[in-house]
Structure 1
Amino acid sequence: MSDVPPDPTDLLHPGLIHHIVNALGRPRLRPLQEESIAPLKNGADAVLIAPTASGKTEAACFPPLSRMAQENWEGTSVLYVCPLKALLNNLLPRLETYTS
């Protein structure tokens, strides 16, 4: 038995991982993003608290986007309520990159 914990990104859809790595230019997600994958993908409620520009939006979006792809959801499947208008200004292009 290995003492190495499982990689939480293994729970994400491979296509999403491809776009995450290429869009973010990093081989790994930030700790908050990794820690949010399993609970959010399993439908848990969560409040993600972290400093500005720490990846909270992606931490909240990656698990449901991955479920959408893995389970072939159709129509309006995920609703993201954005707390600040400023976040909306760059959210759509980022999500389009991840979901392309």
Structure 2
Amino acid sequence: MLRSLLDPAEARLTVMVDGRPFDAHPGETVAACLMRHDLVPTRQTPTGRPRAPYCLMGACFECTVELDGRTNVQACLTPVRDGMVICRNLRA
């Protein structure tokens, strides 16, 4: 598993982020995948302020996203899986 995280050629998963496909590595979290692809912020506050993964251990809730239709899922605690649909909580 460690090799797949370090070797981009080993990327075997595809996730959909905001309607676009991106590669993902087996074993990485959704937050790590989003940050690797420079897809931050992951959400906005009700007042429109951008938020991104911060603590990466589930304490701060700054990384919440919609995953496969489930809202407010912590991206830092959720491993990617092939075909996962990720929607960042951003206003247009």
Q: State which structure, 1 or 2, has the greater radius of gyration over its C-alpha atoms.
A: 1
Q: TM-score range by the shorter chain?
A: under 0.3
**TM-score normalised by the chain length of structure 2:** 0.26
**TM-score normalised by the chain length of structure 1:** 0.25
> Where is the strand percentage greater, Structure 1 or Structure 2?
2
> Where is the helix percentage greater, Structure 1 or Structure 2?
1
